[in-house]
């Protein structure tokens, strides 16, 4: 019980640091920074991943090859190394300082987009060819067929894999620690350095915090999946189906 | 083509190869306006390939194909090709309904997204088309909740929603259970009765006999015989056609 009491004490004494870092005396940090980095990272990586997937399926080599090069890099090099590279090299290349938060966000987004693009590509290629044929026969352009026929199915079918990638994006924000992005792990490190004698308690708080964030996202994704599935098999009398918000967002013609 | 009909679809010396295999050989034929042509022949004879060249789902290697006066395989921008395709109704063997959309949404999608028809107007028209194929009651059902015959009727309504001057059918009943073939054929009969130009690859010989103006018989990529159904079924000329028909009768 003393350990739980210790944890409670640590949280009580450091909750503001864990929540927002040293803001307003420094940049926003703590779990708020982690959430911002995660949300922006996912928000950038997902659309970029879809665009990269479309490019990787393009008939033009000039679009395909850069995507595959990026994917091979992302697969072959640890994210930590890429972050260090960008952190040290980018300021030299562009001749000005780049905030750690921006470095982390851009690197993470592009890195995750590479993996998301492969998931989306597999989802697109798993659909029967007849779907594209039917859309083209009706006069849809390639992009219109993708937008209204192929992607709504492919993205839905790949929700579980895309969710895993989102969760791993959240967990990868911890690597911001090494380039001094003051996110949650960084705040915990500060606390641990100050207390010195309670690493287990400090890092238990950290683990629980990440678990809650990731679990929330997982729950939300499952809920979304359930709602879309329900909206696409609705047999009830006319009217009931079209009221579902998930359907309005995803299946709207 | 009967002399009185102006041309709707014209094949002119069309050739196509898959590697060294000749898929279409010197195909020259016309489908007249309002004419119903049934294309039949043994499997692998090039029927499906032929019909898929009309809206350029398949490319050809030489010759030309005209649809309503437009050269389908001429060099053109992709938006010109899209516009041309939007005017050619096509019905697939495997229906290819969009499974994430309801029956009504399947029929509305392309008028709204390709032609820019206002939603209310597209909806009105889609409901009328679903009524025409006898599926008003199923408008909110999703493809997975429909039988094969119902799915194919929705697919026909979806193609009709673009108001094509001609309809192409690629084995529309081959994937159906026997008891569902009739409902699809009766929709097609209705279309033919309304004067729709139709080109139809099918093994339904009773349909060919009743509805077709002419039967084209294909073998090894060539159209080897074209005749009105009475002549084709009563007095087939080509030995391959004679064998094909006698095998059908045995079955």
Q: What is the pLDDT of residue A243?
A: 38
Report d(CA B38, CA B216) in Å as an integer. Answer: 6
Is residue A252 over pLDDT 70?
no
Interface of chain B toward chain A, CB-CB under 8 angstroms: 55, 57, 78-79, 82-83, 85-88, 90, 92, 94, 96-102, 105, 108-110, 112-115, 119, 139-142, 144-145, 155, 158-159, 162
pLDDT band for position B5 (cuts 50, 70, 90): confident
**Nearest CB to A148; choose among B78, B82, B113:** B113
Q: Which residues of B touch A129 (CB under 8 A)?
A: none
- Shortest CA gap A122–chain B (Å): 18
Q: What is the pLDDT of residue B3?
A: 56
The two tokens of residue B228 are 């009105």
Torsion of CA A136, A141, A143, A144, to 10 degrees: -80
Is residue A248 over pLDDT 70?
no
The per-residue pLDDT for range A30-56, each reduced to its tens digit, is 999 999 999 999 999 999 999 999 999
Q: Mean pLDDT lowest for which of A218-227, A237-246, B82-91? A: A237-246
Q: Is residue A141 within 8 Å of B77, Cβ to Cβ?
A: no
- Whether residues A139 and B144 touch (CB distance < 8 A) is answered with no
Region A192-204: mean pLDDT is 93
- pLDDT above 70 covers a percentage of chain B that reads 98
Q: What is the pLDDT of residue A113?
A: 98
**Nearest CB to B140; choose among A135, A142, A234:** A234
Q: Which residues of B touch A146 (CB under 8 A)?
A: none
- Whether residues A141 and B101 touch (CB distance < 8 A) is answered with no
DSSP 8-state symbol, A182: -
Burial label for A40, CB within 10 Å (0-12, 13-18, 19+), is middle
Chain B residue with the nearest C-alpha to that of A240: B140
Q: Which residues of B touch A59 (CB under 8 A)?
A: none
Q: Which residues of B touch A128 (CB under 8 A)?
A: 94, 96
Is A241's Cβ below 8 Å from some Cβ in B?
Answer: yes
DSSP H/E element including B37: strand B36-40
Q: Which residues of B touch A152 (CB under 8 A)?
A: 100
Q: Is residue B54 within 8 Å of B64, Cβ to Cβ?
A: no
- Whether residues A141 and B79 touch (CB distance < 8 A) is answered with yes
Q: Mean pLDDT lowest for which of A91-100, A161-170, A234-243, B69-78? A: A234-243
- Whether residues B101 and A251 touch (CB distance < 8 A) is answered with yes
Q: In whole numbers, what is the pLDDT of chain A averaged over residues? A: 90
Classified as helix, coil or strand, A238 is: coil
The per-residue pLDDT for range A118-176, each reduced to its tens digit, is 999 999 999 999 999 999 999 999 999 999 999 999 999 999 999 999 999 999 999 99
- Whether residues B96 and A128 touch (CB distance < 8 A) is answered with yes
Chain A residue with the nearest C-alpha to that of B84: A139
- Whether residues A139 and B57 touch (CB distance < 8 A) is answered with no
- Whether residues B114 and A138 touch (CB distance < 8 A) is answered with yes
DSSP 8-state symbol, A147: I
The per-residue pLDDT for range A78-130, each reduced to its tens digit, is 999 999 999 999 999 999 999 999 999 999 999 999 999 999 999 999 999 99
Chain A residue with the nearest C-alpha to that of B161: A138
Is residue A6 over pLDDT 60?
yes
pLDDT band for position A234 (cuts 50, 70, 90): low
Q: What is the pLDDT of residue A246?
A: 39
- Whether residues B100 and A253 touch (CB distance < 8 A) is answered with no
Chain A residue with the nearest C-alpha to that of B120: A253
The per-residue pLDDT for range B170-179, each reduced to its tens digit, is 999 999 999 9
Cis peptide bond upstream of A24, omega within 30: yes
Q: What is the pLDDT of residue A209?
A: 95
- Shortest CA gap A226–chain B (Å): 14
- pLDDT above 90 covers a percentage of chain A that reads 86
Q: What is the pLDDT of residue B105?
A: 97
Report d(CA B23, CA B20) in Å as an integer. Answer: 9
Is residue A205 over pLDDT 70?
yes
Task: Specify the higher pLDDT residue, A108 or B249.
Answer: A108
Is A76's Cβ below 8 Å from some Cβ in B?
Answer: no
- pLDDT above 70 covers a percentage of chain A that reads 92
Report d(CA B170, CA B148) in Å as an integer. Answer: 15
Q: Is residue B149 within 8 Å of B184, Cβ to Cβ?
A: yes
Domains of chain A: 2-252 (1.10.3720.10)
Q: Which residues of B touch A154 (CB under 8 A)?
A: none
- Shortest CA gap B242–chain A (Å): 34
Chain A residue with the nearest C-alpha to that of B142: A233
The per-residue pLDDT for range B96-155, each reduced to its tens digit, is 999 999 999 999 999 999 999 999 999 999 999 999 999 999 999 999 999 999 999 999
């Amino acid at each position: 019980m003393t350990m739980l009491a210790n944890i409670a004490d640590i949280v009580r004494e450091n909750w503001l640091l864990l929540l927002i870092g040293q803001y307003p005396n420094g940049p926003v940090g703590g779990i708020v920074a982690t959430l911002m980095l995660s949300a922006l990272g996912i928000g950038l990586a997902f659309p970029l991943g879809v665009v990269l997937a479309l490019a990787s399926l393009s008939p033009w080599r000039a679009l395909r090859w850069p995507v595959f090069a990026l994917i091979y890099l992302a697969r072959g090099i640890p994210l930590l190394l890429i972050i260090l590279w960008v952190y040290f090299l980018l300021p030299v290349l562009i001749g000005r300082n780049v905030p750690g938060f921006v470095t982390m966000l851009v690197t993470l987004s592009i890195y995750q987009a590479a993996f998301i693009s492969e998931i989306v590509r597999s989802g697109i290629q798993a659909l029967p060819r007849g779907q594209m044929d039917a859309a083209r026969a009706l006069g849809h352009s390639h992009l219109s067929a993708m937008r209204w026929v192929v992607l709504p199915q492919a993205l839905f079918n790949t929700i579980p894999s895309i969710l895993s990638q989102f969760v791993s994006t959240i967990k990868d924000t911890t690597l911001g620690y090494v380039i001094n992005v003051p996110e949650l792990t960084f705040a915990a490190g500060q606390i641990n350095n100050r207390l010195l004698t309670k690493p287990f308690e400090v890092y238990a708080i950290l683990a629980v915090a990440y678990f809650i964030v990731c679990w929330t996202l997982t729950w939300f994704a499952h809920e979304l999946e359930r709602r879309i599935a329900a909206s696409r098999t609705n047999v009830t009398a006319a009217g009931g189906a079209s009221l579902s918000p998930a359907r309005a967002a995803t299946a709207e013609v | 083509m009967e002399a009185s009909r102006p041309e709707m679809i014209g094949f002119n010396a069309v050739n196509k190869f898959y590697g060294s295999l000749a898929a279409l050989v010197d195909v020259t034929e016309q489908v007249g306006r309002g004419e119903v042509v049934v294309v039949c022949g043994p499997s692998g004879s090039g029927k499906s390939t032929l019909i898929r060249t009309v809206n350029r789902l398949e490319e050809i290697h030489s010759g030309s194909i005209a649809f309503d006066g437009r050269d389908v395989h001429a060099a053109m921008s992709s938006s010109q090709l899209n516009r041309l395709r939007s005017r050619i109704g096509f019905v697939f063997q495997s229906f290819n309904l969009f499974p994430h959309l309801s029956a009504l949404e399947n029929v509305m999608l392309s008028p709204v997204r390709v032609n820019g028809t206002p939603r209310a107007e597209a909806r009105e028209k889609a409901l009328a088309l679903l009524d025409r194929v006898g599926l008003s009651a199923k408008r909110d059902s999703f493809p997975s909740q429909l039988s094969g015959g119902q799915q194919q009727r929705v697919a026909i309504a979806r193609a009709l929603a673009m108001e094509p001057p001609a309809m192409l059918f690629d084995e529309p009943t081959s994937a159906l259970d026997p008891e569902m073939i009739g409902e699809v054929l009766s929709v097609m009969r209705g279309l033919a009765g309304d004067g729709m130009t139709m080109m139809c690859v099918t093994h339904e010989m009773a349909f060919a006999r009743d509805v077709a103006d002419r039967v084209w018989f294909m073998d090894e990529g060539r159209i080897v015989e074209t005749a009105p159904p009475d002549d084709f079924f009563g007095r087939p000329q080509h030995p391959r056609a004679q064998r094909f028909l006698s095998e059908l009768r045995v079955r």
